[in-house]
Every structure is written in C-alpha cells, then in structure tokens.
Amino acid sequence: MIKSFVSFLEYDLPDNLKGFIAAVIHGESEPNTQITYPVHAIGFPLLIHVYGDLPKLHIKGTITKARSRLNLAGQVFDMESKIEIDGTFGQIGFVLYPSATYYLFHKKGDFFLNKWCTFEETQLEGISTLHKDLSRCTTAIERVPILLNFLNGLAENRLPAVPWLDEALGEILGKNGVVGQEELAKNAGISLRHFRRKFKEIIGVPPKYFCKVIQLNTIFELIKAEDEIMLHHIALDCGYYDQAHFINDFRKLIGDSPSGFLKGEHAYVKTYLGRRAG
C-alpha cells in the first residue's frame, strides 16, 4: 500500500524561487508495493526525483518504465494516464507554477504535455552532477536543498517575463478558475484569439480547460470528509450553478462520478489533487 500518496511539506523557500515553486511534496510506498493508480490533471507541473524502484508509466495505452530519476511531469490534457509501482517507490520534489517550466527550462508547454519528461531531454548542463549529489542522500528531505540549488541556477538564466500571462494566471487562481476567456483577454489587452494561442503555447493546455481544472481542484482542496452531499454544496460555492454541470465536468476530468470516486479503490489520490497555491 501507499504510506503517503503525497504530503505537502512545510519548507522555507528562497525568495527568488517563490514565483516558480508552489509547494514541496513527498510521498512513498511500503516495501514490495504492487499498485497502479490514475494520474489526473491539477493544472500545475511537477518536478519529481524518484528514489527506490522506478515506476512504470501508462500513457496513451503504452507502458514504459521511467527512464530517469529526475523528471518533469507536465500538464495532463484529455488523456488517461496511470503510474504502476512494483517494489518500493519514493518521490520528492516540487509542485511548480504553470509558467515555471517555460521560464526556467526554456521549453514551451507542449514539450512537457502528457508525459514525464526526463531532465536529460531538456539538455541542461550539470544534470550528471545533480544525479550524483542526489544519490549520496540518505533521506528524502536531504534532496530538497540540492534540487533548490539547481533551480536557483536556472532562475538566474530565466526567460523574460510575459506580464499579461502572469496576470492572467494570477486572476484564474485568485478566482478559483471561475473566469471567462473573454474577460481574461480584455484585461490582458490582447485579442481573444491571440490570448488563447499564446496561453496554450506556453502553458500547454487551452485556457478554458485550465480554468476548469483549477475550479475542480479548488473543490478537492475544500473537501474535509468523504461526504457526497458536502462535495456538491462545495461545488455550488465554487461557481457551479447546478449539480448536473458539476457531475458532468467531474466525470470528464476524473472519469467517474463524485460518489463513485470517493467510494472507489483510488479515492486516496484526492490527497494529490487540490489547490496548493494562488
């Protein structure tokens, strides 16, 4: 079984990285775990260092073993994906802000879309040294400052800011995803067509989809008990006008009804879902 699907760790981040990192995460399994669990969209990329046994990735019907211990998991869009653990699995890393992969790694959103992208694929310098430094660690938390130091170097060479995009992302997060594309484009001072194109180009997913993911993950963050009635009340408070629309969006993103998910075998993944930033 999974001891901790994901824990959000309290960690004092350097000021220059707070605009790129939303949270520090840690999770691990019991020894000799055999389990396959779904991966759902959360709207935030993940930087993951794997220790223990490497997992298998089920993406678009293809099963492959993770090729590296250092990975960037990009946005999930209109796709079913799963992670298979056979052994002892541990992960430590960061929830990144949606634009961080673009600013830090100089890659557009589709480069990371629907996959675990290895650090080697980004062709950055110093990756072999980073692997060696991480391999010397005996505890998960020891890896955090090493990863932060690496990101600090990337931050010094970051791409120039796109102010309207940063403001739009802030508005989406601030309004829990309940905001229209037209309003966002107007506030950005650009055409709706240009807004949609550039947003998808940099973030990796369309703005309408991203807003819906943020809205549903805001609901997950507010869940305090496995209570379907409570879940529906929270959904109404988070911008849904009726229960039917909420259930329909929930099925599209999660693949099941709210009650089916909360009572199902993979209900524990709700600890991974949810808003941790913005």
Based on the fold, state whether residues 101 and 177 are members of the same structural domain: no
What is the tally of structural domains in the chain? 2
Predicted pLDDT of residue 177 = 92
> Is the pTM for the entire model greater than 0.85?
yes
Condensed to tens digits (0 to 9), the pLDDT of residues 170-223 reads: 999 999 899 999 999 999 999 999 999 999 999 999 999 999 999 888 877 776
Q: Work out the number of other CB atoms within 10 angstroms of the CB of residue 43.
A: 29
- For residue 131, what is the domain's CATH number? 2.60.120.10
Measured between alpha carbons, how far is 51 from 4 in angstroms, rounded to an integer? Answer: 14
More confidently predicted of 276 and 122: 122
Based on the fold, state whether residues 204 and 226 are members of the same structural domain: yes
Measured between alpha carbons, how far is 259 from 12 in angstroms, rounded to an integer? Answer: 37
204 belongs to a structural domain? yes
Based on the fold, state whether residues 41 and 99 are members of the same structural domain: yes
Q: Say if residues 210 and 221 touch (Cβ distance below 8 Å).
A: no
Condensed to tens digits (0 to 9), the pLDDT of residues 135-159 reads: 999 999 999 999 999 999 999 999 9
Cα torsion 188, 191, 197, 200 to 10°: value is: 30
Q: Is 253 helix (H, G, I), strand (E, B) or coil?
A: helix
Based on the fold, state whether residues 211 and 267 are members of the same structural domain: yes
Q: What is the largest CA-CA distance in the chain?
A: 54
Tell me the average pLDDT across 233-260. 76
Domain residues for the domain of 63 are 2-155
Based on the fold, state whether residues 10 and 68 are members of the same structural domain: yes
Based on the fold, state whether residues 214 and 138 are members of the same structural domain: no
Based on the fold, state whether residues 115 and 222 are members of the same structural domain: no
- For residue 212, what is the domain's CATH number? 1.10.10.60
